[in-house]
């Protein structure tokens, strides 16, 4: 058995620090080695205790969590899990933190919530195990091809991601031109965060990015992100493909689930689809990607070296669901190659 993950809890609320500590301490593979009430206390505790992982509040006195995170990633890179309020403002700040380099995020619990902080302990353990080199700068993204340079075919693109997916999706989707193939995405993310994430992607990318709504037609130049928390995203409609939001129990512990999305794309589009599985904990999406490949779809997986967590792509690769494993920087361009219309006609 490996040594427990050593965690420093940073939050200005003593009550919240106590709750996070209690949740983490219930897992024998996690050891809370200290607490801090603000960035100044946290800085001294990091020097003294050398934790494996930090949980970090966003709204704190003296220095907010985003500013402190930037200093951490510059001066002492380490895995940081953001703890955020489940509000639009909290979502915007958390997404900014994930772009800066935070490992993952959890929402602060509502009163009476049965499982406060959800899978925080699992995220802490995954963060402690990660081989990610936090000191490596994010590579500059080349401009996407122009509309004139890309002739879209008839394929649908389906992408699944989890931990590390914010950075990964930005890197992939910024390669897409404004006339990209219709693209559907399930990213594991707390409720209220996906709307803010879709808006952020829409500002950063050439195509239109929106949170998926029930009945929304799949159109060229549009990307649809599954809403977090309540329903699964599927696609249906042979003559006029559209998004469907389905009330079902969680699958693989997730709602929305990547497997549910990939299963529906396999059934609807078959060989006229491309499936992509990116960084993430667990195995969600692996079986669905295998179903897509068996149906004739092209399939891609992010390679271990560029994953924040090589979980979902690893399981998919081991199942034989992945046709090609590629570094993150190459995935966007490969999707475009697979979905472009052929010169002699349209796929």
Per-residue pLDDT reduced to its tens digit, 81-92: 998 886 667 788
Q: Is 317 a catalytic residue?
A: no
Q: Please tell me the pTM assigned to this model.
A: 0.89
Confidence label for 134 from pLDDT (cuts 50, 70 and 90): low
Residue of higher predicted confidence among 234 and 132: 234
Average pLDDT over residues 127-152: 66
Superfamily of domain 3-127: Response regulator (3.40.50.2300)
Task: Tell me what the mean pLDDT of segment 226-242 comes to.
Answer: 94
Q: For residue 224, what pLDDT is reported?
A: 98
Query: Which residues of the chain are in CATH 3.40.50.180 domains?
Result: 154-337
| 284 in catalytic set | yes
Lowest pLDDT segment from 106-115, 130-139, 302-311: 130-139
**CATH classification of 154-337, choosing from 3.40.50.1820, 3.40.50.180, 3.30.300.30, 3.40.50.300?**
3.40.50.180
Question: Any catalytic annotation for residue 232?
Answer: no
Domain with CATH 3.40.50.2300 in the chain: 3-127
The mean-pLDDT minimum among 238-242, 271-275, 320-324 falls in 238-242
Q: Cα–Cα distance between 96 and 107 in angstroms, integer?
A: 15
**What is the reported pLDDT for 137?**
44
Q: Which of 162, 196, 257, 264 is catalytic?
A: 162
Which position among 52, 259, 263, 284 bears the catalytic label? Answer: 284
287-313 pLDDT, tens digit per residue, is: 999 999 999 999 999 999 999 999 999
């Amino acid at each position: 058995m490996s040594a427990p993950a050593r965690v420093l809890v940073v939050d200005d609320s003593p009550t919240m620090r106590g709750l996070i500590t209690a949740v983490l301490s219930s897992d024998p593979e996690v050891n809370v080695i200290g607490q801090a009430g603000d960035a100044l206390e946290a800085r001294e505790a990091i020097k003294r205790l050398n934790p494996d992982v930090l949980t970090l509040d966003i709204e704190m006195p003296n220095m907010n969590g985003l500013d402190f995170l930037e200093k951490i990633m510059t001066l002492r890179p380490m895995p940081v899990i953001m703890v955020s309020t489940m509000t639009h403002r909290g979502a915007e700040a958390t997404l900014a933190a994930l772009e800066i380099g935070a490992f993952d995020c959890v929402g602060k619990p509502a009163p009476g919530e049965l499982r406060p902080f959800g899978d925080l302990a699992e995220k802490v353990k995954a963060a402690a195990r990660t081989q990610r080199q936090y000191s490596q700068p994010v590579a500059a993204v080349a401009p996407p091809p122009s509309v004139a340079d890309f002739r879209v075919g008839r394929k649908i693109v389906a992408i699944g991601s989890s931990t590390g997916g914010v950075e990964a999706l930005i890197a992939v989707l910024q390669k897409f031109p404004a006339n990209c193939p219709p693209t559907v995405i399930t990213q594991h993310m707390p409720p209220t965060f996906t709307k803010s994430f879709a808006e952020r992607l829409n500002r950063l990318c050439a195509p239109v990015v929106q949170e998926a709504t029930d009945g929304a037609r799949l159109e060229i130049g549009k990307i649809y992100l599954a809403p977090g928390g309540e329903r699964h995203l599927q696609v249906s409609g042979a003559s006029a493909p559209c998004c469907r939001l389905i009330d079902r129990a969680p699958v693989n512990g997730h709602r929305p689930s990547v497997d549910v999305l990939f299963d529906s794309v396999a059934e609807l589009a078959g060989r006229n689809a491309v499936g992509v599985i990116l960084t993430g904990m667990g195995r969600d999406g692996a079986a669905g990607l295998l179903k897509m490949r068996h149906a004739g779809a092209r399939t891609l997986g992010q390679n271990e070296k560029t994953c924040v967590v090589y979980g979902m792509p690893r399981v998919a690769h081991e199942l034989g669901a992945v046709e090609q494993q590629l570094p993150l920087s190459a995935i966007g361009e490969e999707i475009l190659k697979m979905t472009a219309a052929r010169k002699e006609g349209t796929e």
